[in-house]
Structure 1
Amino acid sequence: MEQDGIRWTHRACGAALLACSKAGQLDDALQLIGKMTKHSVRPDRISYLDLISHCVRDERSEDMAMTLLQLMRDTGLAPDVRHFNAALKVCARERNPVNASTIFQQMATQIIMTSHAWNTLLDAIGRAGQVDPMLAKYREMCTGGQQPDMFTVTTLLAHAAAAGRCSIAQDIWREMHDDLQLEPDARSYNARINCMQRQRSRRRRRQCLPKCANLLMSSRMLLPSTGAYSISNVLHANTSQRRLVSEYQVMTWSSAQMGLQRVPRKCSGHLIRSSSCTALTGR
């Protein structure tokens, strides 16, 4: 920086750190922070947040996120909920539940836990395919007094479905209705449908078709295009069953009402595309 005639200021160093983070050059960013310290310039919370958020661009992303959190503490800055959540998201993307749990524990000792932090931790564990540990953390969340929200339930449903744990997904669905009194949204319906279509035998998949159609029709928020491919997957390699789709009404939304007015429409056995709807298809 001296060679270019640039003074060691917070603004100049912050811009350089942001450039390093966006380019995924986090090692260069760490070296720059070391030089900044020698010039009595300390990165602010925003700079650290940018670096942690862009850790996913580095091949050692989750380790780098933990390094940056520790570096903040070493320089006298206590990470807040934004920094911890950003680090948890990095671990979730990298499917690293071990580091996610470590960061979560650090977070729990310093700040008040939020549902967002719990949800991110559950997502990190679920992405690693560890359904049982994910459920154990969910129970810990509930017993600790944190109220699950719709995002929590959807996260559990999605990862249980991805792991083929359909019975667990059914239990979660019932708990959502009976205990939590939550209204399903588009993502939760789609996760439930995806779980149904993962039945191993063709006979079981065919038996799930009416349930899938009923779920699709029950949702007031789920656009037909969202569930179309899930239903299509149920019918995949079952050409003779495609005609069954026409037996179910697909709920379409009037574009003039911006999705608020539902119009029942019969499928004609082929893909219907319009400005207001995409009907189910077996193709």
Structure 2
Amino acid sequence: MTTTARVAAVVLAYRPTKSIITNVEKVAAQVDATYVVNNSAGEKSSEELFASLRSRGSVAVLDQPGNVGVAAGFNAGMRQALTDGFEYVWIFDQDSTVAPGMLDALLGAFEQPGAPVAIAGPALRAEETGHLYDGESATGVRDQSALISSGALFSRKALETIGLHDERLFIDYVDHDISFRARSAGFRLVKVYDTVLDHRFGASIESRFLGRRIYLSNYSPTRHYYMTRNRIVIIRRYGFGRWFWEDTAYATKAWVKVLLCEKDRMLKMRAALRGLVAGLRFRQVGKRVD
């Protein structure tokens, strides 16, 4: 590390593949401590990988009682990092790979003039294709309405003000929720386009459609339930804005692929319908999680 700030990383792991070893090593090389949150405790297929991670001196594995979800999993690592006195917490899913110097680039964004920065994130590149995602090819540091969880660097000051992720959301849109809470509290969210995180969404299975190569997320029906439910929850909490139209464009493309190319279409559609109903019935209480 070249920075004097104390930074901890949190890597959320659920049924990881061998790639997590390399990803954790690259993160650990840039931070003071790394917490790997084991969301698949008790699954024998993952025991060897977690044993390997436990053998690394700067890595601590935090076992959870099964799959507690993305929000609760990130919170487990973030709470430990804050308890251990770190000034910044850098969070990842297991399929993200950092670039050299990324942490220093993100920390520099917190020195921007104006309102304090709560969260800084890198530009995103599709790991399976090597291409930047849409809208990720800018330069410099720019304000955002929301940042995805993986690669997001949080300041301790912001977390002490806004709290952690809403664990009732479980998965999907937990990043939107904490981003919008940060902005509502007067903080900024920024993206540093000059450093790039290799990231994978879903299973990212290669397929062909009308002679063109496409990639299918192949999310499970359960995942479609949470995506639909939580999209409705976020709309009810924060209303319609730029985020909604960007998200709608992404969701439309995703559903075209589901309906035309993926398996279990009916199961996924029924799950999404259940999610819609659940989102409308969701009780909007207690957004803050400490």
Query: Does the TM-score normalized on the shorter chain lie above 0.5?
Result: no
In terms of fraction of residues, the more strand-rich structure is 2
Larger relative CO (CA 8 A, sep 6+): 1 or 2? 2
TM normalised by structure 2 equals 0.28
